[in-house]
Amino acid sequence: MEYKIKIAEVFSISPGSRHPDEGDYSGQEFREKILIPMFRKCLNAKQFLTIDLDGTLGYGTSFLEEVFGGLAREFTVDEVLNHIKIISNEEDYLIDDIKEYIKDAKG
């Protein structure tokens, strides 16, 4: 079974800020409602989770850090790095940035 999340389809075409009190479609909301439940399933199934960033208007860094750094804070840096794949054909530079947000994540 393939585990895949396309943010533009399951969440929003205009992802917002870090926390819900800062505006709509925050990184925290995405992580808690969509990403974490799916990531748990992937870990249990020992599968990869593919996250597709294309098809949105673009991303702010707070959203990305909260989603991916936050995921590493919830689990571990290694678990996240070893179980997610990022698709970002429209903004390829985001892949490196996200890897660094994960590595820099602090509990």
Check if the beta carbon of residue 56 is closer than 8 Å to that of residue 15. yes
Taking the complex as a whole, the smallest distance from the CB of residue 35 to other proteins amounts, in Å, to 18
Rule CB under 8 A: say whether 68 interacts with other proteins.
no
Query: Which residues neighbour 98 within 8 Å (Cβ) at sequence distance 6 or greater?
Result: 64, 68, 86
Site map (CB under 8 A) of other proteins, residues 72-101, x = contact: ------------------xx-x---x--xx
**Least separation in angstroms between CB 12 and other proteins:** 8
User: 37 or 107, CB closer to other proteins?
Assistant: 107
Q: Does 20 bind other proteins (CB under 8 A)?
A: no
DSSP annotation of 55: T
CA distance 35 to 24: 17
